[in-house]
Structure 1
Amino acid sequence: MEFGAHLPVIDFDGRPWSLRRLAAFAAAARRLGFAALCVNDHLVWPRPWLDSLTALAAVLEVSAPLALITSILLPVVRGPVALAKSLAALDLLSGGRLVVGVGPGSSPCDYAAVGIPFAERWPRFDESVRVLRALLVRGEPEFRGRFYSTEGIVLEPAPAQSPGPAIWVGSWGSEAGLRRAARLGDGWLASAYNITPERFAAAWHRLNDLLRAAGRDPTRFPNGLSTMYCYITEDRAAADRMLREVLAPALRRPAADLAEQLCFGPPEVCAARLTAYRRAGAQRVFLWPVADEETQLELLMERVAPEVVRRD
């Protein structure tokens, strides 16, 4: 199992953002052996949310050679052509380290903010992925759909990767979502706090079947588990307070619904949770500290990750 770290783009504790803070986080992740840095995406949210693409751009230099993964972006909300332009630049300037994770999103507020009906998110998303592929991947044909068209559009400069960056499709594991990932994606992104290890295993098995039925090789179709929120501490009461008073309100979810799908608590508890996902088929997990972020990165790689490996 590979480990990635979410950049701190949500305001959990009132700590101000700065280039120095983001650079320190990225440098710590690189030093500790993380494989990737990730960003999640919302336009509007009950808590302050730093723009995800700007955050990635801020750490391009200090993060090398880590992969840069969007897990996930909202192409319908951002507009797929404008988003493709930004993604091409990020891939070029990072030397080809970008993985484009996309999804329709689950918040009506994002859609209302840009005047797009939430009910249109699914057909628009399907077209958006095809727009991204047409503009980012060399050799792909132009696309013309109901909502979007790439006819006559050439984005230059092109991404560094050839033929282009991989496009992973996010899904919480529904049948429709898995079919969409198999049809449109180069990989699958699940969300830890929205899927149990048991559901992940069933979804991954089903996705493999869908890929084979489509003539695709499942061994060449990676997966990742994003938004694994973490607060590693021997103080179980402190972990419980962090869940009830910080994370649950920020996610607008009952604490009881989140508790079993987080890395909160002692290192051995977190290692057991990650091991369960690894045994379910998760190939990489992207962890998101909710406080003391650099200390949490150290605890993850020094106390938790070795135990996950030991249990392998």
Structure 2
Amino acid sequence: MPRGRARRRETLLRLACLAPPLLLLGVLVLYPVLDVAWLSLTHSSLINPDPEFVGGRNYAEAFGDPQFRAVLLNSLVWTVVVVVAQFVLGMTAAVLLSKRFRGSAVLRVLVVVPWIMPGITAGLVWKMLEDPYLGPVNALLSGLGLVEGNPAWLGEESTSLYAVAVAAAWKGFPMSAVMYLAAYQGVPEELREAARMDGARPWQVFRHVTLPGMAPTIRVTLLLTTVWTFNSFDLIYVMTKGGPGVSSEVLSSFIYRTAFVDVNHGSAATYGMVSVTVLTVFSVFYLRQMRHTGGLR
């Protein structure tokens, strides 16, 4: 068989093998995204089910709306605070769990409990914990002399977003801890021992030996938790529903309220496309990092 014909046959065979997953991907991902993109260019609601094409008017109104800009800022603050908190808690837990001590195996199992807990359950638990009168958070802080009275952490505009962020950091840090623990144990102990023999202090060993060895895993984990945090919904909906006002509203909960409470499907689709665009940027960085570290071939 001529070489050119063999190559064409091999190419057709590859395309035939790729056709089913590409078709499935198109049905499950591409079509819904294109449908939302079209809906974002229309005026559509429950009382006006026939979409009316309005072009980019929805986008102009969205970015001209102070409430939407406040939600975008909340989403940025929410993502940064939660991701940083999960990094600190996850790294601390990974370093502690890397030590061998009595009960370490049980502790490793217990650390994963927040991660496997359903988001609705975690939200309800933390809502009770942060209750201004019955919750133990105020009792503990009052006993330490850090607060006076009974502050309503979830009911104040200045604290509601951060109160939910505490719950999100608690629920999400076990995943980071598991990733960092694996990376920590992957750094050869001989390198740390050599640094200690050269007179390096523990924090110098961690900074100059351990962290560089963990860097690929840290970058991937940070990017992954950023995508998940930006797109999170359940904790905010259960604990505050975005209130008071829009003080704890993020993009995902704002999309839900616009679509199913205000039944403004065109505007909700517009906000959805903004969210898809942001998450696509994060995902591209994530995939590039995975390829760079050998996670993708």
TM-score range, shorter chain: under 0.3
More helix by share: 2
Which one has the largest radius of gyration?
A: 2
- Whose relative contact order is higher, 1 or 2, with alpha carbons under 8 Å and at least 6 apart? 2
| Structure with higher strand content | 1
